[in-house]
Structure 1
Amino acid sequence: MENKEYSKIYRIIHWAIAVSFLLLLATIFLRSTWLNKNNVADIIQNYLMSIDLSLSYDQLIRLAKQIRQPMWNWHLYIGYVLVGLFAVRFTIPFFGQMKIQNPLDKNLSVKEKIQKWTYIIFYVCVIISLVTGILIEWGPKSLKKSMEGIHVLSNYYLIPFIVIHLAGVLIEEVTSKKGTVSRIIGGLKG
């Protein structure tokens, strides 16, 4: 199989999506660990107790949520950026760029078919994440809770995909497709 040359638009979209996903992961990680509303409420409560003040637990949780709100806003903004990036990603194949190839093509090797299916599964999960995120923010309130559940579940694909993607790139870099990293960073022919 020949080495692929990546156009400038391909590289820009690829890296913008990659950075956006890493930033989203950072907000998810912080929200579920150090900046978990219960942890923040406990920190506030411990401080208030040290100066002989107190708030109810409900007040502490509301205050913790207000402290975390800017981080949540970043999660939303990055989500909107991803909606735009994926809209571009799925539109530009009509202009001859970043074609989405058919994994059912009989000319593909088993390895190539697996790669193509992995990307299709990834794209389906991304679409689910983006649509449920939009519905959480803009959809009917009656759907919010069920969309939140689906949104959280749909995000479990991201870390395994990143690991598989990086492992695949590294394997190709040291075996059959030397120069893959150089081409996706700088567009240089390998």
Structure 2
Amino acid sequence: MENRNYSKVYRVMHWLIALSMLFLLLTVFLRLGWMNKVHIADIIKQYLATTNQTLSDEQLIVLAKQIRKPMWDWHIYIGYVLVGLYVIRLLLPFFGEMKFRNPFNKELPQKVKFQYIVYLLFYLCVALSLITGLVIELGPKEFKEPMEKIHILSIYYLLAFIAIHFAGVLMAEFTNQKGIISKIISGNK
């Protein structure tokens, strides 16, 4: 594997994309867990019972969705940021930065081919996530439901990529690319 130095542009883009994706993942986990509409509705229902007030289950869900809306708005805002970062990432090779590597080059070792194929699949999945997210927000209403079904699947590729990425970085750090973690943070070994 080549011993690469990472330019400032490369490092900034890497961390902006990584932090954006981690933030999006956090909003998804909050929505599925603590901020789940049914969970919030149940908390409201329990409180209202102590004050001898009631709302229908439908009203409780509407209220719960309104409570979590500001958090989910941030998912959408960061999604737009990620669209911009993705476009910049695609344009950077034309300016000599963050060049894409051909995973089908016959001269590459198998390990490197695998790494490049994983990145290619990752960027294709990110494109699909961004496109479906944009259609959900800006597209015709009749496309919203099918796009949401596809968009929700994003969590699976993202979690798989994070696991593979961390495993690969740790393997590289402790084998043939000592200092790779320092390089992606500071640019120096």
**What's the TM-score, normalizing by structure 2?**
0.98
RMSD (Å), alpha carbons:
0.7
Give the superposition deviation at 1:79: 0.3
1:62 lines up with 2:67 in the alignment: no
Deviation at 1:153, TM superposition (A): 1.4
How far the C-alpha of 1:58 sits from its partner, in A, is 1.0
Question: What does residue 50 of structure 1 align with?
Answer: 50
Tell me, in whole angstroms, the C-alpha distance in 1 between the residues paired with 2:150 and 2:174.
38
Q: Deviation digits for residues 79-98 of structure 1, max 9, x if unmatched? A: 01100111100000011110
Is 1:122–2:122 an aligned residue pair? yes
Confirm or deny: 8 A CA contact 1:129 1:155 kept in the other structure.
no
Alignment of 1:1-190 (within 5 A): 1-188=1-188, 190=189
Alpha-carbon distance in structure 2 between the residues aligned to 1:181 and 1:99? 20
- For structure 2, the 5+ residue unaligned runs are none
- Shift in Å, 1:2: 3.2
Report the alpha carbon displacement of residue 34 of structure 1 after superposing the two structures with TM: 1.1
Letter in 1 for 2:65: K
Offset, 1:21: 0.8
- Give the Cα separation in 2 of the matches to 1:155 and 1:103: 24
User: How many Å separate the matches in 1 of 2:176 and 2:34?
Assistant: 42
Q: Which runs of 4+ in 1 moved over 6 A?
A: none
- Deviation sequence 1:12-50 (CA, Å, 0-9, x none): 000001111111111000000111101100000000001
Task: Report SS of the residue matched to 1:117.
Answer: helix
Hey, what's the Cα distance between the residues in 2 that align with 1:107 and 1:5?
Answer: 22
CA–CA separation in structure 1 for the residues paired with 2:58 and 2:152: 24
Matched to 2:78, the amino acid is I
Q: CA deviation at 1:160?
A: 1.1
Secondary structure at the counterpart of residue 54 of structure 2: coil
Aligned to 2:153, what secondary structure does the other structure show? helix
**TM-score calculated relative to the size of structure 1:** 0.98
Gaps of 5+ in 1: none
Shift of 1:107: 1.6
Asked if the contact 1:125/1:155 (under 8 Å) is kept, the reply is no
Shift of 1:156: 1.1
Task: Work out the percentage of aligned pairs sharing the same amino acid.
Answer: 57
CA distance in 2, matches of 1:89, 1:61: 39
Which residue identity is paired with 2:61? I
> What is the CA distance between 1:155 and its match in structure 2?
2.8
Deviations 1:108-138 (A, max 9, x none): 1000000000001101110000000000000
